[in-house]
Amino acid sequence: MKVTIENKNLHDIQADIEIVFVIDKNLEHKWVQDRDTLEALGFKGEKEEVAFLPEKRRIYVGTSLDHDEIRIATAKAVQTLKNKKFKRAKIGVYIQNCPITNIKAVTEGAILGDYEFTKFKSKKSEGGLDEIVMANEEYADKSFTIQNAQKAIEEATIVAETTNLVRDIVNTPPNEIYPESFAKLATQLASEEGIEVQVLDEKDLENEKMGAFLAVARASANPPRLVHLSYKPQNPKAKIAIVGKGLTYDSGGLSLKPSDYMVTMKSDKSGASAALGIILAAKKLELPVEIHAILGLAENMVGGNAYKPDDILTAKNGKTIEVKNTDAEGRLVLADSLCYAQEKVEPDYIIDIATLTGACVVALGEYTTGVMGHSDELKETMLKAAKSSGELAAELPFNRYLPKLLKSEDADICNISSSRYGGAITAALFLSEFIEEKNKDKWLHLDIAGPAYVQKAWGYNPYGASGAGVRVVIKWLQQKFVFNQKHP
C-alpha cells in the first residue's frame, strides 16, 4: 500500500474511487455528495459504519477527527475494498489540531489496515487498493503545507511498514523462526540498515554467567541466542536499552501448558520482535538517540535435561532464583538480559517489552499494554506516547506489600508469587530485582501479553499479531528527544 499527496483539489485528482469520512455524523458537508442514497440506506455516520457505493465510486465511513478514529476509518475503507478492482483511491485531508497528526493517521491506517499474513497460503487474495492519494484540500479549510504533509507521510510509512514487519515475524511459526533463525534474520535486517550486530551463542552466555537464561533453553534442540543490536548516531541525546523477550516457542516446560494454551505460543517472541522493529524504525527515522536492542531468544521445551520446579538458578548478577513454575520462564530470560544491558550499555533509560503474563490480560483485557515501573514521571511519558500513537496502555501500580510475595526460603527470590493475585505486577517486581538501584527510576516494563496477539480482528489490527510496542516506543522516543513532548 502506497500513500501519497498531490498539490491538487480533490475534484482534480484522477482515481478509481473516493474515500469520504463523515465526521461526527455531519451529512451536510460539501464532500458528502450522496445524501439521498445514504439516507435511503439508513446510513447515519456512526463510528466504523461503512457505506460502499460502487456505482458512485465512493465509499463513506463514519468517524470523528480523533487521530485513532481516523486510523480505524481508513483501515475500514481499505478492508472494504479488499478483493475489489479499485486500485487508486483519493481522499481529502482531515485536521483536528496539529496539521500533520491525521495525515499520519490516514497513512498508518491504510498500511496497517491493508496487512495480511499470507506467506503460508497456497492461494493469495487478489485485488484491493494499491495507492491512496491525498488532496491539497482540507475538510474545514484549515491550512497545511505539502512539504510537511509529505514528511508526515514518509515518517508514518516507516513506522507502519516496520509494524507490519514485526507482525510477520510474530506470525511466523516456530518451525520457521527459532533462536538461530531469528538471530540470522535480525542480523540481516540490521546489517541492511547499517546497524551494528553482535550475536552471543550458548558458550558466550555461559561465559556471561547467564544461568537463568540458559536454564530455560536447556531442553530445546534449538540452542539459545542473545542478539545485541546497536544504532549509534552522532551526538546522541540519550542512550536507550530496549530489552525484548524472545521465546520463539513456549510449551511451559515441565509445568506444561494445557494444549489450548499452547496454541499461539509462537507469539511469545513478540517482545524481541518489537525491539527489533523499534531499532530499525529509529534508524530509518534518524532519531537522535543511541539505541541498543537486546533480544533474548530461547525455546522453553520439555526433555530429560529440562530445568525443574525446585531448581535454584544463579542469574548474571549473582542473585539466586528458586524455580516454582517453569512456565514463568520469560522473566528468567529477561532477568539475565536486563543485567547484560546494564553492564554492557550503561543506558540512560531501560525499556523491556514482553508477553509476560496472562494476569495482565485479566487485568486490562486483550487490547491494552500494562505499563509498570518505579518512576511516576517516566510512566506518565509512556502513557502519553501511547495515547498519541494509537496503542492502548494503562498503568499497573507497584506497592510495598507485593514484593514480599516473591520471598524464597532457600534462595534470594522465587520466580513466581505465592499469591494467585496481582501476577502482572509481581512479575514486574521480579524483574525489578535485576535492575540496579541507580537505574530503578530509569526503567519501564511493558507487558504486551494482551495486544501482541489476538485471535480476532480489531480496529486496524488483523487476526494474529498486532506489532504491539513499536508505535508507542517510537512515539515515546520522538516526544522525549525530538519534539520535547510538545508535538502530538
Which residues are part of the catalytic machinery?
Answer: 257, 331
User: How many Å is the Cα radius of gyration of the chain?
Assistant: 23
Chain CA centroid to CA 163, Å: 7
What 430-434 contacts at long range (C-beta under 8 Å, 24+ apart), as own/partner pairs, is: 430/331, 430/335, 430/406, 431/331, 431/334, 431/335, 431/338, 431/352, 432/374, 432/398, 432/403, 433/319, 433/335, 433/406, 434/315, 434/317, 434/319, 434/334, 434/335, 434/336, 434/338, 434/339
Distance CA 203, CA 14 (A): 61
If you count them, how many residues does the chain have?
A: 488
CA distances from 367 to 186, 388, 393, 463, 468 (A): 27, 16, 8, 12, 9
360: left (phi over 0), alpha (psi -120 to 50) or beta: alpha
Q: Please check whether residue 166 is in contact with residue 273, taking contact to mean a CB–CB distance below 8 angstroms.
A: yes
Q: Using DSSP, state whether 57 is helix, strand or coil.
A: coil
Rounded to 10 degrees, the C-alpha dihedral 419/423/429/431 comes to 120
Q: Using DSSP, state whether 327 is helix, strand or coil.
A: coil
DSSP code of 265?
Answer: G
The three state secondary structure string of 392-431 is: EEEECCCCCCHHHHHCCCCCCEECCCCCCCCHHHHHHHHH
- Residue keyed to cell 483501515: 75
Q: Please check whether residue 132 is in contact with residue 106, taking contact to mean a CB–CB distance below 8 angstroms.
A: yes
101-113 helix and 67-80 helix, angle to the nearest 10 degrees: 30
CA distances from 432 to 383, 445, 467 (A): 20, 9, 25
Main-chain dihedrals φ then ψ at residue 461, nearest 5 degrees: -105, 135
Q: Please check whether residue 375 is in contact with residue 396, taking contact to mean a CB–CB distance below 8 angstroms.
A: no
One-letter amino acid identity for 162? T
Q: Using DSSP, state whether 51 is helix, strand or coil.
A: strand
